[in-house]
């Protein structure tokens, strides 16, 4: 296994539409259960269809219906997890614990901690265009 393969997150998908600027690739994100031979009987299996937009310039030579691999640098995936889950968890915990230690009631401390987390997600929403520019999938040749 080479370093390039391990440094990318890849998904196989099908091109569903193409415009001069954006090519849309549909991937099926499946849980580990969905590949099980008993998945149809269990009911725990789930597969979600997602559409990823890729710059059309990178899709040259491809057409609607082609099966392609779309990739994202693994470091960007880890950064997304950190921004989405780790930072809000720390905000929630730090606010809840520090306010409780300061003598505030549990309900009020919990509410303020949730409000702080909501504020964080609000700020992320305001900067979504700036952040999403860093997370661009590419079609692997």
User: In the chain, helix, strand, coil percent, each to 5?
Assistant: 50, 30, 25
In Å, what is the CA distance from 71 to each residue of 25, 82, 137?
Answer: 11, 19, 5
Nearest to 67 by CA among 14, 23, 18: 14
Per-residue pLDDT of the chain (141 residues; tens, 9 = 90+): 344 445 777 778 888 888 888 888 888 766 555 556 555 555 555 567 787 777 777 667 777 888 888 887 666 777 888 899 999 999 999 999 999 999 999 999 999 999 999 999 999 999 887 877 666 677 776
Nearest in space to 88 (alpha carbons), one of 55, 54, 50, 117: 117
Which domain, by its residues, includes 78? 3-140
Q: Looking at the 3D structure of the chain, how many domains does it have?
A: 1
């Amino acid at each position: 296994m080479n370093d390039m393969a391990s440094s990318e997150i890849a998904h196989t998908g099908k091109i569903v539409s193409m415009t001069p600027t954006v090519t849309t690739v549909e991937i099926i994100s499946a849980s580990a259960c969905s590949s099980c031979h008993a998945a149809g009987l269990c009911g725990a299996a789930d597969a979600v269809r997602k559409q990823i937009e890729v710059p059309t310039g990178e899709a040259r030579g491809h057409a609607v219906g082609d099966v392609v691999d779309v990739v994202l640098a693994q470091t960007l995936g880890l950064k997304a997890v950190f921004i989405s889950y780790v930072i809000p968890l720390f905000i929630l915990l730090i606010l809840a614990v520090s306010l409780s230690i300061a003598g505030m009631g549990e309900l009020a401390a919990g509410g303020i901690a949730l409000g702080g987390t909501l504020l964080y997600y609000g700020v992320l929403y305001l900067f979504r265009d700036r952040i999403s520019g860093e997370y661009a999938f590419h079609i692997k040749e």
